[in-house]
């Protein structure tokens, strides 16, 4: 005996009584299979929206209903949602206004405690309608969709179809709405979702892994992501960060598409912004993951991948800038390569910072073998970057954010190992301090990036000879003048000022030993600016540093020469007189560390006081 046919089902659905339609719906679940779109359309046309809407609301406990219907409320809800999800597999039904208007109702259903099958069908309906209808995503979002995602995703089984649907819904939102708006309105919810995505990124071994990677890199690397970073940083459970590390290692040690490798690097860079550079070498045992990853694995993978990316991108940029005809250059392609280069540079810079901090702690977190591998990798990378700068120098290029970023990373590394790549650095130092960013009118940032290294090498005579012969000292003086002119008076901002001051001080103290002429016009300009700056200084160390530098500059000139210089006026002379008097007549006010600076001023005054009658009169009270 044959069972009921679809015609029997349609006849029941068109019946006048609700009992007939209910029977037809129960029968319809057998015919509305995943890909039988023809049967689904026939069933939907026979039933219509009115009865389905009423059945859904009855299942939700809305509106008037008989006691019998209240008893069957859960069954009605299950049936209506099952049928709705089945109907929406046909895009023409899913894209209808009748369906999109049900999004708020389905979200309301999800706010209640439900069984897994019903939750899955609700998410299926939401995804299908949001995808098909032009306003679906907007209505889903405005109806509280982010809150529902954040509340359900942490409880969904890893790798489940329901979780895949939830992630796809999140992808839709991210692709159609501004991340700035989402973060402002749902920062806490988005942070919760990030922890779920992190776990799936680590545990999944299918397309879901890369969907999670894409979303994580998009969210955490956004220029609007600071509030999310803060929320994640404040979480007591840090396992999400460990899951990301597992996922990054898995991607970087396997053969993946170039864009996926880049997204893994972007994600690693974002994690170090949130959790610090130590994230690379942390070891955490996580349920469902392989045994603890060796401390060196993630660091070496990130460094090696970044090193390769840097070599390829610099080669591509050099070709585009110097060999390809300007008419054929794709500006957008160049900008993209420069942006990707920035990511790789940032990662290498963070690894430099990591090994520096580990070395200072004198711990054994990084083995000697790993340390050697990292140093060798960094030396190779810095060598490649210096070659890129040499290429730019040969082509007369001094301006570009890629060049400035190259100088920055070289400066970061040389601050830790001033003698690295010594020959290349000696050759290119004069050029590096001449590099400008796209928005700079003159070199400044490049000099600031190199100050830690310049300060260190000028502690030796050879280093002083290098920065004088290369002309780099002039750039340092110009940089210091700009820093002093723009100083806000807060000690937090004085780091570059003291580095530049120490560099000039080292140079002036060894002036007789280097036997190379210094351009006094630069130093006289500095004399005027420095004496005026020290006048407003609230910290005594600033006063002592300024007076010692001024005392050494005064060794090589005279008051007569100063007064004839257009960059030094009467007000500068008054400030200089007050500075020297103040530093000489406040014995005991300086700390032990400033005693050497005080001695420089005392010795200098004894040498040149007779050449500066105004200063002598101020000091001796005449």
Asked if residue 242 lies in contact with residue 286, where contact means CB atoms within 8 angstroms, the answer is yes
**Of 573, 549, 574, residue with least CA distance to 561:** 573
| 281-305 per-position pLDDT tens digit | 887 777 766 666 777 888 999 999 9
Sign of the dihedral through C-alpha 68, 74, 77, 78: negative
Asked if residue 359 lies in contact with residue 365, where contact means CB atoms within 8 angstroms, the answer is no
Sign of the dihedral through C-alpha 170, 206, 273, 175: negative
Q: What is the pLDDT of residue 360?
A: 65
Q: Average pLDDT for residues 27-40, to the nearest whole number?
A: 71
Q: Average pLDDT for residues 400-427, to the nearest whole number?
A: 88
Q: Please tell me the chain's helix, strand, coil percentages from 3-state DSSP, rounded to the nearest 5.
A: 75, 0, 25
| 150-198 per-position pLDDT tens digit | 999 999 999 899 999 999 999 999 999 999 999 999 999 999 999 999 9
| 480-523 per-position pLDDT tens digit | 999 988 876 555 567 899 999 999 999 999 988 887 677 788 88
Residue 400 or 418, more confident: 400
Q: Average pLDDT for residues 423-431, to the nearest whole number?
A: 90
Asked if residue 483 lies in contact with residue 500, where contact means CB atoms within 8 angstroms, the answer is yes
Residue 1, pLDDT > 50, answer no
Average pLDDT, the chain: 87
Asked if residue 281 lies in contact with residue 298, where contact means CB atoms within 8 angstroms, the answer is yes
Using CA atoms, how far residue 449 sits from 94, 444, 532, 578, in Å, is 57, 9, 25, 33
Q: What is the pLDDT of residue 86?
A: 85
Give the count of beta carbons closer than 10 Å to the beta carbon of residue 175.
Answer: 9
Q: What is the pLDDT of residue 288?
A: 67
Contacting residues for 18 by C-beta, under 8 A, at least 6 apart: 51
Phi, psi of 399 (to 5 degrees): -120, 135
Query: Whole-angstrom Cα distance, residue 532 to residue 68?
Result: 91
Query: Whole-angstrom Cα distance, residue 384 to residue 317?
Result: 13
The first and second tokens of residue 118, run together, are 């019903």
Residue 237, pLDDT > 80, answer yes
Asked if residue 146 lies in contact with residue 189, where contact means CB atoms within 8 angstroms, the answer is yes
Q: Domain segments of the chain: what residues?
A: 200-293, 308-436, 486-495+514-622
DSSP 436: B
Query: Whole-angstrom Cα distance, residue 414 to residue 356?
Result: 12
- This prediction has a pTM of 0.85
């Amino acid at each position: 005996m044959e069972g009921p046919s679809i015609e029997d089902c349609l006849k029941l659905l068109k019946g006048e009584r609700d009992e007939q339609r209910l029977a037809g719906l129960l029968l319809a679940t057998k015919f509305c299979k995943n890909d039988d779109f023809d049967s689904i359309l026939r069933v939907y046309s026979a039933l219509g929206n009115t009865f389905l809407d009423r059945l859904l609301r009855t299942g939700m406990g809305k509106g008037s209903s008989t006691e019998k219907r209240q008893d069957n409320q859960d069954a009605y809800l299950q049936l209506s949602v099952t049928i709705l999800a089945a109907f929406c597999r046909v895009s023409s039904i899913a894209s209808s206004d009748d369906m999109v208007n049900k999004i708020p109702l389905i979200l309301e259903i999800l706010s209640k405690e439900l069984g897994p099958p019903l939750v899955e069908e609700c998410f299926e309906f939401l995804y299908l309608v949001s995808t098909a209808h032009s306003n679906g995503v907007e209505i889903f979002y405005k109806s509280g969709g982010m809150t529902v995602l954040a509340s359900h995703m942490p409880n969904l089984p890893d790798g489940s179809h329901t979780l895949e649907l939830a992630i796809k819904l999140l992808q839709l939102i991210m692709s159609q709405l501004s991340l700035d708006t989402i973060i402002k309105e749902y920062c806490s919810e988005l942070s919760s979702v990030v922890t779920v995505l992190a776990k799936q990124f680590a545990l999944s071994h299918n397309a879901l892994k890369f969907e999670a990677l894409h979303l994580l890199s998009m969210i955490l690397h956004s220029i609007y992501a600071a509030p999310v970073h803060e929320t994640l940083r404040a979480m007591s459970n840090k396992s999400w960060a460990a899951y990301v590390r597992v996922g990054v290692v898995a991607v970087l040690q396997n053969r993946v598409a170039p864009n996926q490798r880049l997204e893994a690097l972007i994600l690693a860079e974002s994690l170090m912004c949130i959790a610090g550079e130590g994230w690379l070498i942390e070891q955490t045992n996580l349920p469902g993951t392989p045994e603890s990853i060796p401390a060196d694995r993630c660091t070496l993978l990130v460094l090696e991948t970044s090193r390769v990316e840097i070599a390829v991108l610099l080669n591509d940029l050099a070709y585009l800038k110097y060999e390809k005809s300007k008419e054929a250059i794709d500006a957008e392609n160049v900008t993209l390569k420069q942006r990707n280069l920035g990511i790789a540079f940032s990662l290498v810079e963070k690894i430099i910072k990591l090994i520096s901090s580990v070395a200072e702690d004198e711990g054994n977190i990084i083995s000697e073998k790993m340390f050697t591998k990292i140093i060798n990798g960094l030396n190779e990378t810095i060598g490649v970057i210096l070659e890129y700068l040499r290429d730019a120098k040969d082509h007369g290029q001094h301006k570009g954010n890629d060049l400035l970023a190259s100088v920055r990373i070289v400066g970061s590394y040389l601050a830790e190992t001033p003698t690295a790549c010594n020959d290349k650095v000696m050759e290119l130092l004069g050029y590096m301090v001449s590099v400008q960013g796209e928005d700079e009118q003159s070199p400044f940032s490049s000099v600031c990036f190199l100050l830690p290294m310049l300060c260190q090498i000028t502690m030796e005579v050879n280093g002083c000879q290098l920065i004088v012969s290369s002309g780099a000292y002039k750039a340092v003086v110009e940089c210091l003048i700009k820093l002093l002119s723009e100083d806000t008076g807060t000690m937090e901002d004085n780091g570059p000022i003291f580095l530049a001051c120490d560099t000039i001080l080292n140079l002036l103290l060894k002036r007789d030993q280097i036997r190379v002429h210094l351009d006094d016009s630069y130093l006289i300009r500095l004399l005027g600016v420095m004496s005026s700056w020290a006048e407003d200084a609230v910290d005594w160390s600033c006063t002592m540093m300024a007076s010692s530098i001024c005392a050494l500059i005064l060794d090589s000139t005279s008051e007569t020469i100063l007064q004839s210089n257009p960059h030094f006026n009467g007000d500068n002379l008054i400030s200089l007189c007050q500075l020297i008097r103040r530093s000489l007549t406040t014995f005991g006010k300086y700390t032990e560390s400033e005693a050497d600076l005080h001695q420089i001023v005392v010795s200098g005054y004894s040498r040149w006081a007779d050449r500066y009658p105004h200063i002598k009169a101020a000091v001796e009270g005449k």
